[in-house]
Chains A and B, each alone.
With several copies, the nearest count.
Chain A
Amino acid sequence: MTTITDQKHIMLRVEKKQVDGPAFATLFFNYALPFKPGQFIMVWIPGIDEKPYTISYHSKNEFAITIEAKGIFSQKAITLEKGDLIGIRGPFGNGFDIKPEDAVAVVAGGCGMAPLATLVEQLPENTCFIHGARSREFILFPDRFDMDRLFCTDDGSFGRKGFVTELLENEIASGRHFDRVYTCGPEIMMYHVFNLCEKHHIPCQVSLERYMRCGFGVCGACVCGKQVVCKDGPVFDSSALRGIKDFNTKALLKSGKEVDLAQYFSWRCK
């Protein structure tokens, strides 16, 4: 039987808090977390709720999560301060497939920067790094990496005005070769990136998001088509994505009811 390394429920105290503009906060913890970029942990705020978060910084004895303030949980999370207590379980999921010799592009949208940050740190400097957001203040980690980055915003307040897909299309059109594209952001954005890659026969890796309960492939809350997002994913490659008819179309609500993605996200708002 395989050893399960991610079963323990661990309580940690916030070691340091970093405010990343008006929309994001990053919480650091002193803890040696075994981890691979793309994996996630379940974060419990006692008395509030428990939600999945990716790891945005990782070193031998420290890791961090970055939270975008949205609903009840994330708004509470960004008010946490040094010394405050959270529970974690994990890491869960598969993580990105990294081949150091490959020529790759990374396409981040909004908070989708978070899971890509630790990936980017393992990639060569000539990586094509595209980063978009609604507007300037939603650009997460604008100064973090040594690597050059192509920025864009919906309103043009930072970098080029437009969508990440346009930037990626330009690069491809300019004759640049990619062995693989990694992307994380709103599902509609990832869907467009995937389609672009399909058109150009570029393998793609996408990190999906669904409502989660167990995080380890038992409860079924997170299923997307026949895929179990928390265990088979959250990262899926092109061959898997082609088989997921619910990609960019359907998701399950908390009750298990299958709805359109739009309805899913508006439910998540409440």
Chain B
Amino acid sequence: MTIQFLGKTLKNPMVLASGVLGNSNDILKRVHESGCGLVTMKSIGPEPRDGHKNPTVIDLGHGMINAVGLPSPGYLNMENEWEDLEKREFPLIASIYGGSVKEYRMVAEFVSSKKPDFIEINISCPNSEKHGMIFGINPQSSHDVVSAVKKVINVPLIVKLTPQAPDIGDIARACEDAGADAICAINTVGPGMVIDIESKMPVLAFKKGGLSGPMIKPVAVRCVFDIYKAVKIPIIGLGGITTGEDAIEMIMAGASLVGMGSAVRYRGIDVFQTVADEIDTWLSDHHYTLEDIIGAAHKEDAS
């Protein structure tokens, strides 16, 4: 299957989630070659940032919790990276974050000049004290940041949302109205906290962290379902997807493409090809095309 997405051709509907392995051209290329249709860079910020101290990522069995804290070399300190990436032969999303509309715009304008296929603005990361979150839970703020960024970039704009929004459909609509070309949902759930009872301390150095992996799938599916109801632009659905059946569920909720992050832990880097194959098999067993089932769960009498 070949997929058209905002004017680009992708080899399959699988997307590498931002923040997972995506911090060098070499590894992004490897993820693409191992079978991922569209890869996302780790979110790039306005300034160099080390992120939080360890522990930053802990597995919980049915998912994981992380407070990596948006480490980034800063958009101005990545010359080698940008050079490598401009020579790439695979479709790429550059993810960015900022602490103000001005920062988002500044980073976006610069990154756009480096010609990624898409820019994704992360208005949803719960792990940083100053960055992101606020824009993702208030429709007016979402609208402001999206329209500001949209004006200064030459590539399609994807907006990544947080499930913490009181009504994620409202946020998606505000983004669409402001010119977003697609929605990506969801970022991590929570935040959560894990306390070690022997030391009486939160295990993550940042104390709180975002949840990802299998346990967040029901929240992610609900969010994509709500967004699909609210907007016409395509949705990249992610959150807890690890198998072809998970992906089909997400597509039926309304996703056109399906992202995975934590799944790399559970099924390895090849998980994108594996899941793409599982989707294909399911579709052909059921005599459907991918388009047939996008948003299929919205039909009242679907069975």
Contact call B20/A219, Cβ cutoff below 8 A = yes
Contact call B20/A218, Cβ cutoff below 8 A = yes
Q: Which residues of B contact A6 (CB under 8 A)?
A: 59
Given A1-B242, A213-B68, A258-B24, decide whether A49 and B53 contact each other with a Cβ distance below 8 A. Answer: yes
Interface residues in A43-79 (C-beta closer than 8 Å to B) = 44, 46-47, 49-51
Among B72-80, B136-144, B217-225, the one that faces the other chain is B72-80
**Distance A9 CA – B61 CA, assembled complex (angstroms):** 10
**Distance A256 CA – B74 CA, assembled complex (angstroms):** 9
Among B27, B78, B301, residue most surrounded by chain A Cβ atoms (within 10 Å): B27
Q: Which residues of A contact B232 (CB under 8 A)?
A: none
Interface residues in B41-61 (C-beta closer than 8 Å to A) = 42, 48-51, 53-61
B81 interface residue (CB < 8 Å to A): yes
Q: Which residues of A contact B48 (CB under 8 A)?
A: 255, 257
A228 interface residue (CB < 8 Å to B): yes
Contact call B73/A4, Cβ cutoff below 8 A = no
Give the A-B contact count at a CB cut-off of 8 A.
143
Contact call B61/A8, Cβ cutoff below 8 A = yes
Given A223-B23, A256-B73, decide whether A47 and B57 contact each other with a Cβ distance below 8 A. Answer: no
- Per-position 1/0 for B291-303, Cβ under 8 A of A: 0000000000111
- Per-position 1/0 for B240-275, Cβ under 8 A of A: 001100000000000000000110111111000000
Contact call A4/B266, Cβ cutoff below 8 A = yes
Q: Which residues of B contact A220 (CB under 8 A)?
A: 19-24, 27, 42
Contact call A226/B23, Cβ cutoff below 8 A = no
- Per-position 1/0 for B183-199, Cβ under 8 A of A: 00000000000101011
**Distance A1 CA – B274 CA, assembled complex (angstroms):** 11
A96 interface residue (CB < 8 Å to B): no
Contact call B55/A2, Cβ cutoff below 8 A = no
B201 interface residue (CB < 8 Å to A): yes
Q: Which residues of A contact B20 (CB under 8 A)?
A: 218-220
Question: Interface residues of B toward A: which range?
Answer: 35 or more
Q: Which residues of B contact A49 (CB under 8 A)?
A: 53-54, 205
Partner of A223, one of B21, B261, B267, B301: B21
Contact call A255/B265, Cβ cutoff below 8 A = no
**Distance A217 CA – B201 CA, assembled complex (angstroms):** 25
Contact call A254/B50, Cβ cutoff below 8 A = yes
Partner of B42, one of A47, A256, A258: A256
Interface residues in A222-270 (C-beta closer than 8 Å to B) = 223, 225-226, 228, 246, 252-258
Contact call B68/A219, Cβ cutoff below 8 A = yes
Interface residues in A164-222 (C-beta closer than 8 Å to B) = 212-221
A87 interface residue (CB < 8 Å to B): yes
Given A42-B55, A226-B30, decide whether A217 and B264 contact each other with a Cβ distance below 8 A. Answer: yes
B218, chain A: closest CB distance, angstroms: 12
In the complex, residue of chain A having the shortest beta-carbon distance to the beta carbon of B301: A47
Contact call B57/A219, Cβ cutoff below 8 A = yes
Q: Which residues of A contact B194 (CB under 8 A)?
A: 9
**Distance A32 CA – B26 CA, assembled complex (angstroms):** 38
B42, chain A: closest CB distance, angstroms: 6
A263, chain B: closest CB distance, angstroms: 13
A17 interface residue (CB < 8 Å to B): no
In the complex, residue of chain B having the shortest beta-carbon distance to the beta carbon of A213: B56
Contact call A85/B303, Cβ cutoff below 8 A = yes
Given A47-B201, A256-B73, decide whether A9 and B196 contact each other with a Cβ distance below 8 A. Answer: yes
Given A218-B264, A257-B77, decide whether A226 and B27 contact each other with a Cβ distance below 8 A. Answer: yes
**Distance A30 CA – B232 CA, assembled complex (angstroms):** 42
Chain A to chain B: the 3 pairs with minimum beta-carbon distance, closest first? A257-B73, A46-B199, A214-B57
22 contacts between A and B (CB under 8 A): A9-B194, A44-B54, A87-B196, A87-B199, A215-B57, A216-B57, A216-B265, A217-B269, A218-B20, A218-B64, A219-B68, A220-B24, A220-B42, A223-B26, A225-B24, A226-B27, A255-B51, A255-B74, A256-B42, A257-B77, A258-B24, A258-B81
